[in-house]
Amino acid sequence: MGEEVLDPLSEARKAIAPGEKVCGNCMLWRPQQQDARGRWVGPCRLQPGRGDLPPTAAPCERYLARGSKVPTAAPPEPSRRSRTLAAPTIRRGANTFSRQEQPDVEIGDLLDMTRNELIEIIREALGEGDAPALANKWEGGSVVLKPGNPELQSREIPIDTLFRKVVSIRDRLRVLEAKINAHAKMTDAEKVELQSYITKCYGSLTTFNVLFRDKDDHFVGEKSSA
């Protein structure tokens, strides 16, 4: 009776050859949903502005084959050079997160992204690193979207799929928060204003805190002064 839960990445890659140089074989691409034709599509982690891409889409110059090594040095450019930075502090409500200070290098023209930021994106795309855990009671569960009209068909979504999307939103908000904190040309007043919008986004997402196993991973919105 239960519908088999398929792995989107495995299903998407069935349409392409293992060594074929296409987005589906790039570690920066991840399938997120099926289009009207039933194909799995998803965004590029470095170029989300391209929209949802099918696995057979032609890759760009930033293609990184799955299983390949992360670049360890910047491409040879006279205007680029290594640098050592203290990574930005990410503030979320009353909690503060700080990455360990370590040597960092710029990676060519990857949207002003440093090597360590690229590594974090790749680890997230591969499901590695310190990903938050789903609460045990939801494992193997599903969310049913039931229309008000009984003649229309319901849709069932695996909870772990919903959880991954929620975590992805959280991580992108944190990256945005870090970039705002580290922005050299913004005034403190402008940073505070943008931070307030992000905090309100966290507040809107507190509904999904029930999915997280650990309370430290919860969304934290504005706190009452009372």
Per-residue pLDDT of the chain (226 residues; tens, 9 = 90+): 444 445 778 888 888 888 888 888 888 888 888 887 888 888 887 777 778 888 888 888 778 888 776 655 444 444 444 444 444 444 544 444 444 444 554 444 444 556 666 666 665 555 544 678 899 999 999 999 999 998 999 999 999 899 999 988 988 888 888 888 888 889 999 999 999 999 999 999 999 999 999 998 888 887 654 4
Pairwise CA distance, residues 16 & 2, whole Å: 29
- The residues spanned by each domain of the chain are 8-67
Report the helix count and the strand count for the chain, using DSSP H and E. Answer: 4, 8
pTM over 0.75: no
95: β partners: 92
